[in-house]
Each structure stands twice: as structure tokens, then as C-alpha cells.
Amino acid sequence: MILVTSAAGGVGRPLVRSLRARGLDVRAFVKDDAQAQLSRDDGATEVVVGDLRSRADLDRAVTGAKQVYHAAPTQLIDEVPIAHTLVELCTARDVQHLGFHSVIHPDIDALVHHHQKLLVERVLRDSGLPVTILRPSHYMQNYLEFWEFILAGLMPYPVSPTSVMGMVDVEDVAEAAATVLSAPDEHVGKTYDLSAQALDRNEMAQVWSRVLGHPVAAIRLPPNTVDNPLAAAPALGPAVVRSLLNTKLNALPHLVRGIRDSSNARGIRSWPPEARSAYVGMMTYYDSNGLPVGNMDDLPQLLGRTPTSYEDFAKRVAATRKGSR
């Protein structure tokens, strides 16, 4: 039995599906009944509903598992206490392998989220448990929070269009993690960077222009837009007007849905203040510095193939989403 924490998240869901496709039993650890249903739909063998910060809930999830793949949600800032609890429980319950979902370049101290991952990595390495660490780059899927805007010819994001971001497809991350969990003995003690490509958002917009067949322009929003949607108005307003004029108002339905969907992307309004602040800090850093790729050899080695490019990702998304409308 493989326990997957945050099993209904962006990585957890494709990971559950990938493990089940390989015939492996999966116990999904989720936070509520709605997420539990998602995990059942993904094929999870068992589902445990609970809070990662609850020792009792985590113990229920760990008991009987031979492997654990641990990923914490972005809005959970202080990850170290959970890591200590997880180490204690995995040791007591004779867990044979622990995979940790970290982040690329966790040594960037200016980023709270990255630094927390580094601290957890240290806890796990010092634990004596058989551990494998995966460090994914910025997800290609992150920009789909603005999908309706992209359909309207705009690609807004609270990061400069010229900031170069190392990127990876979440589906590739899940496949790489499933490869590790399928043969854990081959990966114990190793740390893998999961990077596929480096692009700035102007280049991403060019990809969407080719794939969708209409011009798409990258727009910079202020980094604090994620905490204060009104801050986007000065940058987004003129772009919206141009979009409406260029499309003879055909973009209007997409723009309306885009404003609605992006105003609470990732459910950020329900996040605690410190989590929202850390997220704004992350966007502020990316705005000025971007995020480099890691070791580009690790991901193709785990996948046994060339990683998904941003263009292939965009084609897949366009085909899937157009087919579902």
C-alpha cells in the first residue's frame, strides 16, 4: 500500500492515477469528503479524510502503508512539525520508503515556501529512513488559472513577461514519482530535479498564439494582485479594452469568466494571511529574478523519454478543453 498525502491536489491526482495504472494499491489522504470523492474517481484503493497537522489523522493514514509520498499544500507554511511527526510515525509503523515532494532550488532563502522545503529535506535526510526527494520546477499548469483570458487573447500573471521560468508538466512529475515508487530500492538516497524547459511568458504567449490560432499577449500584473485583485485593474483594464476591440466583443464571455475564475485562484481567499503573504513574496521574487531550471538530465532519465514541451502541453490542453466545451 502506498500512501499519497494531498492526494486531491495538482500532483496528487495524476500520481494516484499513474500508480493505479501500474496496478499498485494507493491510499489517498485528503482533507474533506469532496476531495475524497475525487480520489475515488481517480481509482484510489482506500481514502483517509483528515488534517496533515493532526498526529492522530496522520497515524491512521500511515498505518499499514509500505511507502509514503508526501506533498504539502502551498497554503501550509510551517511544514517542519509535520515532517517530524511523519518521520516518527513512519519509523514506528515500519514504512519502507518515503518520497518527498520538494521544490526546485529549495536553497533560495528569500522564498518562504522554498526554504520550508529545504528544512524538511534536512529532517528527512537526518531521520535514517529510506528517502527519495523530488524537486519539481514551476508547473506549466499554473497559467491555466487564466485560461479564459488566454482564450480572449491575454495571458496575465503577477510576474514579468520577460522573467525566465524553468518549467515542467505536472503529468510528467506524477509519472516520475510513480516510477520512483514502483521501484523504490533503485532511488533511495537520491534527489532528482524535475525540469523540462525554460521560457519567459512572452515565449509562452507565442506558443498559445500558434496553438489557438489567435494572437495572445503576455500581461504583467503587480505581484500583490494575488492578495488584492483590484491591484490588477491599471494593467489589465487597457488590455481588456484592446481585446474587446480586436475581437469585436467576441472575447467578452471569456473575459467575464476569466475575471470570475482568477479572482479566487487556488482558493487563495481562504488561505491564512501568512500563506497569502508568502505567495505574494514568491511572485515578487519571480517577477525580478525568474526561476532557473535544475539538472535537465534527471527528468528524462526517470521518464525514459523526452519530457513534455510547453508546446505539446498547450496542444494537449487546447484539445482537451475545446472538446469539453
Note whether residue 32 is domain-resident.
Answer: yes
pLDDT averaged over the chain? Answer: 90
Mean pLDDT score, 48-52: 96
- From residue 292, alpha-carbon distances to 80, 163, 190 in Å are 25, 10, 21
CA atoms within 13 A on the CB side of 191: 14
249, 123: one domain: no
- Residue 161 pLDDT > 80: yes
226, 316: one domain: yes
Find the domain containing 252 and state its range.
197-291+305-324
Note whether residue 182 is domain-resident.
Answer: no
- Residue 109 pLDDT > 60: yes
Mean pLDDT score, 29-57: 96
Please count the structural domains in the chain: 2
Mean pLDDT score, 221-247: 70
Note whether residue 177 is domain-resident.
Answer: no
The rounded percent of the chain whose pLDDT value lies above 70 is 88
pLDDT of residue 324: 44
Note whether residue 299 is domain-resident.
Answer: no
Highest mean pLDDT pick, 47-51, 240-244, 260-264: 47-51
127, 208: one domain: no
127, 31: one domain: yes
The predicted model scores a pTM of 0.91
233, 318: one domain: yes
Mean pLDDT score, 276-285: 87
pLDDT of residue 245: 62
Query: Which of 17-21, 23-27, 219-223, 240-244 has the lowest average pLDDT?
Result: 240-244
Note whether residue 179 is domain-resident.
Answer: no
Highest mean pLDDT pick, 146-150, 237-241, 253-257, 318-322: 146-150
* Nearest to 218, CA basis, from 242, 200, 201, 231: 201
Bridge partners of 215? none
For 277, other C-beta atoms within 10 Å of its C-beta total: 15
Strands of the chain (E only): list them: 2-5, 26-30, 46-49, 67-70, 97-101, 131-136, 138-139, 154-157, 165-168, 191-194, 197-199, 217-220
201, 132: one domain: no
pLDDT of residue 241: 74
| Last residue in a domain, options 136, 162, 181 | 136
Note whether residue 148 is domain-resident.
Answer: no
Mean pLDDT score, 294-301: 97
| Last residue in a domain, options 136, 152, 185 | 136
Note whether residue 152 is domain-resident.
Answer: no
pLDDT of residue 59: 97
281, 209: one domain: yes
> Using 50, 70 and 90 to split pLDDT, how confident is the model at 263?
low
Note whether residue 58 is domain-resident.
Answer: yes
Helices (H) and strands (E) in the chain, counts: 13, 12
| Last residue in a domain, options 102, 118, 136 | 136
The per-residue pLDDT for range 72-99, each reduced to its tens digit, is: 988 788 899 999 999 999 999 999 999 9
113, 8: one domain: yes
14, 101: one domain: yes
pLDDT of residue 325: 44
pLDDT of residue 183: 96
pLDDT of residue 190: 97
pLDDT of residue 262: 64
Pairing relationship of beta strands 154-157 and 191-194 according to DSSP bridges: unpaired
**CATH code for the domain of 34:** 3.40.50.720
> Using 50, 70 and 90 to split pLDDT, how confident is the model at 264?
low
